[in-house]
Structure 1
């Protein structure tokens, strides 16, 4: 299938383009971006023009920041194109619900991707947590924004999510691996004096079986990042590290998974191909609900200004 990639920034170049190039399902047939291009691929700067001139391209993958994404997705859906959304799928939950309703009305596929759910050991962690009652789960997601998003001021503007840009990756894993639904009870969000989105956050959740569930996000952590989920159950201790790539149970690694497709983004594109072929929609918004709850319920604390 031919696909157009919209928004040729760091994530598109680092992840989407290699995944598409390596996939037996896809051919990158066009790009749309104000500045970026991909060698050998027809490039457009106007999205509407691409849709009009390339009717044979039936699928669009949107790698834009969250705020402008709704307009692009809605235009593509109205033009009868299937749409794949980089995380988070929109700037608000209402936008996402509207896109799903529009996709159903136009009978096209829509996929809200959560790439961290496709990390190598997430499925094994889910299986372990399903086997015994949970006692405690702690998320620690700490990295340096200057390294991962250098100079990208949009992430500190309204809709940019701040520390929840990486934090939602952790929440996407948590909502995938826990057998019971959770919801936020308290949060503290720390906003730099000169910015509109938080630089760090602490969160606590209600668990229906009484387990202690917390999350700690920090975007000023220097050195190696920490992307860790630690859990204690009645059957033992689990440590999921490196954003879901490494798992130990009571200090030992589980048996290797059977050979199969590897890599988060290759798995996402394989799932998108399956959705298009089946005419399906996958718009799980559980990770985004937790972020929305944090902004609604969280205590706001002003901290020192942030400068690049």
Structure 2
């Protein structure tokens, strides 16, 4: 089996913490280069930009874009134009429409474009989806709260236009929601809390529904200290299902029925390797559309400035 030679573009916290180890643990994948202005990896060829990588770098088959979302569209276009497969960290871009030209480019070039949602690969997500298919769902509530200073220290891009603010983690919850529910949901109202010195929200409350009127609510907050909260509660006619730990544990009425260690990024790269074998594409934009609609419908409230 030929190894898929992958270059990581953007070598920040998520690339170091998750992508490097996941590539090393994935059969059929190898890390061939890194492109980053500010960081490198010992023993791996390094280039400052994706342009330099594509022009002067070693032979590669694919790029994994881990840069801030504001610059990913242009980088993905450059990689596709050079005949490379492309994996996009979440969110896949700063807007929904900018993905359409990339999908068209990938189709024309017969190359893979993979918009990843790592939380969908948490071990309890598929068991939850299967169980909910057999239930009458009565309501859903998402409680997704974490400390931005722990997870995004010094990352000013997250507060700029396109950085998403609290929706950077919140979109993980929405990616799970859109996977486990049997019918599509849509946003009906939103309250967004913007720090006075930021262009992206630090907290958000969403109201959603499906075509049948299912009540869905979500609370996102970047100001949580102490224990972090990544929970989805689903009330059904057969009891309450709880997905906790970002999708790692599933319980029915408090009794654990599915739990396993985190292998989300290893699963992502396994999927990427399979997609590239045939040049197939996997670009589900449902979570990003929900975020876009939250911004479109959201009532904006100004709160105290954020100081990192």
CA contact (8 A) 2:9 2:35 kept: yes
Match of 2:191 in 1: 188
- Structure 2 unmatched runs, 5+: none
Out of 27, 33, 36, the position equivalent to 1:33 is 36
State the 1:234 CA deviation.
1.4
- Structure 1 unmatched runs, 5+: none
**Structure 2 residue 126 is the aligned partner of structure 1 residue 123:** yes
Provide Cα deviations, 1:98-132, integer angstroms capped at 9, x if missing partner. 21111112111100000000001000111111111
State the 1:292 CA deviation.
0.1
Match of 1:285 in 2: 285
TM-score when scaled to structure 2?
Answer: 0.96
Match of 2:257 in 1: 254
**Structure 2 residue 14 is the aligned partner of structure 1 residue 11:** yes
Out of 161, 165, 178, the position equivalent to 1:162 is 165
| 3-state SS of 2:162 partner | coil
Match of 1:175 in 2: 178
Give the alignment of 1:45-56 within 5 angstroms: 45-54=48-57, 56=59
Provide Cα deviations, 1:274-300, integer angstroms capped at 9, x if missing partner. 000022000000000000000001111
Provide Cα deviations, 1:234-266, integer angstroms capped at 9, x if missing partner. 122101000000110122122678xxx960000
Out of 230, 236, 245, the position equivalent to 2:248 is 245
Could you tell me how far apart the structure 2 residues matched to 1:93 and 1:247 are? 31
| 3-state SS of 1:169 partner | helix
CA contact (8 A) 2:205 2:219 kept: yes
Match of 1:103 in 2: 106
Could you tell me how far apart the structure 1 residues matched to 2:172 and 2:217 are? 15
**Structure 2 residue 208 is the aligned partner of structure 1 residue 205:** yes
Count of residue correspondences? 305
Could you tell me how far apart the structure 2 residues matched to 1:192 and 1:35 are? 28
State the 1:52 CA deviation.
2.2
| 3-state SS of 1:176 partner | helix
Provide Cα deviations, 1:8-55, integer angstroms capped at 9, x if missing partner. 100000000000111121111110000111121011113222112346
TM-score when scaled to structure 1?
Answer: 0.96
Change (3 A) 1:255 1:61: closer
State the 1:167 CA deviation.
0.3
Change (3 A) 1:255 1:144: closer
| 3-state SS of 2:231 partner | strand
